[in-house]
Structure 1
Amino acid sequence: MPSVNPPRGMRDILPAEKSRRERVLSVIRDRYSAHGFDEIETPVMEEYARLHAGIGGDNEKLAFNVMKRGLDAEAIRAAADDPASLTDLGLRYDLTVPLARFYATHRAELPTVFRAIQIAPVWRAERPQKGRYRQFMQCDIDIIGDASSRAEAELIVASLDALDALQLTGASVRINDRRALDWMLEAFGFSEAERPGVLITIDKLDKVGAQGVIAELRSRDATVSAVDAFELFLTGEHPSVAEIFGGEQIRGMLPDGAPDEIVEHLVSLGTAVAAARDGAAVPLVFDPFLVRGMGYYTGTIFELAHPSVSYSLGGGGRYDGMIGRFLGQEVPAVGFSIGFERIVDLVDAQDLSEAAAVVIVHDRDVPMVELLAAKSAFVAEGARVRLEQRTKNVKGLLERAASDGYRQFAMLQAGQSAESLELKPLA
């Protein structure tokens, strides 16, 4: 007999959890829309060549590929040395590559500056473990066609607004610039060819610490003098400054001579975000060693942090070179992705439901016409309504309804109308 369990790394979602997830998604979608973003939808599959064009980083290795239809045994044997020739499609492993293809396809129908929402599942052939799934939801917002720092500021403000609406206040954004990283590695003396590998190692700083990073760089046979310079900078003292986020602080956390253009760009982001948030403390934290693994980032990069957890709740960055791969001309683009699967576990979704959710518990002898009339009366007022026939264990019935997101209940007997029912809270 075949297993009745879902595939490894994938989940069945029961009604209560589905309702919870949808309430969180509705808040995120509402806040993104309020900031002028428009939702789009793309196919779950893209062409194999597009998903493996060298722009998806390590995610390309995790793609689920779809075998060509109609292959005979001879064709399969002929592809023994080239398994990729057996496939022509693949499940999307993120929403950024499909968005780039979407924009290249529909550019003439879209505004000059296009603000996109994408909320949809993606698939990666991960090793299943707690909190890491092979199918999961992504919530992306992207701005295409705006090369200015306004685009990054809009994304950051909209994302922080979404977290505030989910009552996850106190979030901050760690921020850096890939151009600053590249300049810093050049200043230390790393060659251009070895910098991608050096960045991979620096990305492990939070996990292995400064000495672990230096040890790995030496084991990689990176330029010795460059590693020495980096170690001296990494372990040395840096001047403390009063400002929380600004030019003086950023320069103090970089080697001497940081390019004015990059510093001024980051400072302008802080000024814009603070203004959008009514002058509150700037929720940006400059991190000169923030890398983010995707190789397509070309400028600003950021990660969403919250004091309740040690891991990031999302992130993104500028990827100006990607769309040009499909369109044949450069188009500026930047995106921010909220980690929905991580956020949904932190949110008290009960507090997000504004509409009434009512369970009508009825006796067995209540005529169908009265049942449906009572239900329809509540539905017409905007309530979500479930009919439940009274059982011996009414307490268990109500507990289950409460776990499914219902907030009130009423007992209905034959001859009663909706107006005569007394609504009581579900504890």
Structure 2
Amino acid sequence: MRDFLPADKARRERVLAVIRERYRAHGFDEIETPVMEEYARLHAGVGGDNEKLAYNILRRGLDAEAIRAAADDPAQLTDLGLRYDLTVPLARFFASHRGELPSVFHAIQIAPVWRAERPQKGRYRQFMQCDIDIIGDASARAEAELAVATLDTLDALGLEGGGIRINDRRLLDWMLEHFGFAPDTRPGVLITIDKLDKIGPDGVAAELRERGADVAAVDAFQAFLRRPQTLEFRPFGEGQVRKALPEGAPDDVVAHLVGIGEAVAAARPGGDGPGGVPLVFDPFLVRGMGYYTGTIFELSHPSVSYSLGGGGRYDGMIGRFLGQDVPAVGFSIGFERIVDLVEQGVDTAAESVVLVHDKDVPIAELAAHKARLIAGGARVRLETRTKNLRGLLERATADGYTAFATVSAGQNELETKPLV
């Protein structure tokens, strides 16, 4: 968990302002949920490893004897926890307010979440998430809207050229069945397949054998990974999807992916991706969240090797709270990663002025000068002149100020000069 100095905080707020503005331009509305949710909801088995990282809150009123008696059962010790993501709270929110919301709801959530991570570079225990979700639309239109809004936001932040890797959990499950992996082994198999980029096909096959996976299934999967492949150009579409899969892939799932690509291509003609479509089908994209039921995606950018966000369809989650399934899909931008890539900028919406005044200037005169500048739309800070004027101005520049003026007692007009 970190403190942010004024310049860092201002930079983060500028990036958040762009994200909010772009999301709203695409028809999403912002909501807010409490930082705490019920323990049972956060530990319902849909959050994957994140459930293990949740900060839990001790039940009120427990004495020492009660704590000792329940020491081996966290559910008896705690009744609330800090949210570890924004998707679980959104599902609860929609179930609670469905009658007050449109049948297809476009939601923005921008808020901090907490996970008990091991502190290391890029891993924080408190961090900001920026989510957009569409609830109530099972069609490919929902995924396409999320993809276009996300790529548009990346462009607005000066990170043009982004792309999206896309897959479907239904295709993953179909492939594992096709190769012969037993249903009860598939979660572990997916964990290993997720390492394909790091350890390669032979490493994946070796780890699957170590895990005790069915030998024939591993042999079939390894043979598929080693199959001869031509390098001809294939833009995103049915050809690219089917070429990357074994024969016989489900037509409805393939059609869903193709529909997403067609809509994204129409919304972003002449894009940077192959064939003008900033989508790439990746049959081994896994994403570990247990609640994904369909399409999954990750946001990429050529300037970095890691993903800048991701999401997917989680049609089964809201039904846990509502008693009936409601289609839902979401995309989250990795704010903490993106904010470090965005070029440092200044707020040009208004002039930012430092008034450097002599010690003998009456307070009333300073208040009047400051009020006039603020009334004209400027941001104003008062600073008493010091011997090291250069250091004072350098600090003001670092804090985002763009101009300064010196003030003496009895001075009526101020002359502002740019800070260089």
TM-score (norm 2): 0.96
Counterpart of 1:74? 65
What SS is found at the alignment partner of 2:160?
Answer: coil
Letter in 2 for 1:424: K
Query: 1:132-171 to 2 correspondence within 5 Å?
Result: 132-171=123-162
Residue 100 of structure 2 is matched in structure 1 by 109
Could you tell me how far 1:33 is from its partner in structure 2? 0.9
- Say whether 1:84 aligns with 2:79: no
Distance 2:115 2:44 in 1: 16
State whether residues 24 and 349 of structure 1, in contact with CA within 8 Å, keep that contact through their aligned partners in structure 2: no
Among 248, 269, 287, the alignment partner of 1:278 is 269
The residue type equivalent to 1:324 in the other structure is G
CA distance in 1, matches of 2:349, 2:235: 37
- 1:423 is matched with which residue? 416
Query: What is the letter of the counterpart of residue 6 of structure 2?
Result: P
Deviation at 1:353, TM superposition (A): 4.5
Q: CA RMSD in A?
A: 1.4
C-alpha separation between the residues in 1 aligned to 2:350 and 2:263?
Answer: 35
- Tell me what 2:231 maps to: 240
Match of 1:261 among 252, 255, 273: 252
Task: String of CA shifts for 1:274-326, please: whole Å, max 9, x gaps.
Answer: 21123432111111110000011011100011111111010000000000000
Q: Can you give the 5+ residue segments of structure 2 that lack an aligned partner in the other structure?
A: none
Aligned to 1:21: 12
SS in 2 for 1:409: strand
Letter in 2 for 1:287: D
| Preserved contact between residue 166 and residue 352 of structure 1 (Cα < 8 Å) | no
Question: For the residues of structure 2 that align with 1:252 and 1:282, how far apart are their CA atoms?
Answer: 17
Match in the other structure for 2:38: 47
* Aligned-partner Cα distance in 2 for 1:264–1:36: 26
Q: Distance in 1 between matches of 2:368 and 2:268?
A: 47
Q: Say whether residues 1:414 and 2:409 are aligned partners.
A: yes
The separation in 2 between residues aligned to 1:416 and 1:270, in whole angstroms, is 65
Structure 2 distance, partners of 1:288, 1:352, is 43
Query: Relative to structure 1, is the Cα distance of residues 50 and 234 closer, same or farther in structure 2, using a 3 angstrom cutoff?
Result: same
Match 2:334 to one of 315, 331, 339: 339
Aligned equivalents of 1:325, 1:276: Cα separation in 2 = 34
Report the AA paired with residue 418 of structure 2: P
Number of corresponding residues = 416
Give the Cα–Cα distance (whole angstroms) in 1 for the partners of residues 134 and 384 of structure 2: 51
- Residue identity matched to 1:12: D
Letter of the 1:36 counterpart: G
Cα deviation for residue 404 of structure 1 reads 1.2
**Alpha-carbon deviation of 1:55?**
1.1
Aligned counterpart, 1:392: 387
SS at match of 1:350: coil
Q: Alignment identity in percent? A: 75
Name the SS of the counterpart of 1:398 in structure 2: helix
Q: Counterpart of 1:348?
A: 343
Q: What residue is the counterpart of 2:318 in the other structure?
A: 323
Aligned twin of 2:55: 64
Structure 1 unaligned runs (5+)? 1-9
Output aligned runs, 1:351-366, within 5 Å. 351=346, 353-366=348-361
The question of 1:377 aligning with 2:372 is answered yes
Q: How does 1:201-220 map to 2 (within 5 A)?
A: 201-220=192-211
Whether 1:125 aligns to 2:116 is yes
Matched, 1:297 2:288: no
- Per the TM alignment, residue 368 of structure 1 is displaced from its structure 2 partner at its CA by 2.0
Structure 1 residue 351, shift from structure 2 partner: 5.0
Whether 2:28 is the aligned partner of 1:37: answer yes
Instruction: Report the Cα distance in structure 2 between the residues aligned to 1:158 and 1:57, rounded to whole angstroms.
Output: 27
Answer yes or no: is 1:403 the counterpart of 2:398.
yes
* 1:46 and 1:91 in contact (8 A); partners too: yes
Contact 1:319-1:333 within 8 A present in 2 as well: yes
Kept after mapping to 1: 8 A contact 2:71/2:77: no
The letter for the 2-side match of 1:208 is I
CA contact (8 A) 1:143 1:334 kept: yes
- Contact 2:114 / 2:126 at 8 angstroms: preserved in 1? yes
Q: Match for 1:336: what amino acid?
A: F
SS of the aligned residue for 1:193 comes to helix
Contact 1:239 1:252 in 2 (8 A): no
Q: The residue matched to 1:344 in structure 2 has which SS?
A: helix
Q: TM-score, structure 1 length as denominator?
A: 0.94
**Could you tell me how far 1:14 is from its partner in structure 2?**
1.4
1:403, distance to aligned residue in structure 2 (A): 1.2
**Deviation at residue 358 of structure 1 after TM alignment:** 2.1
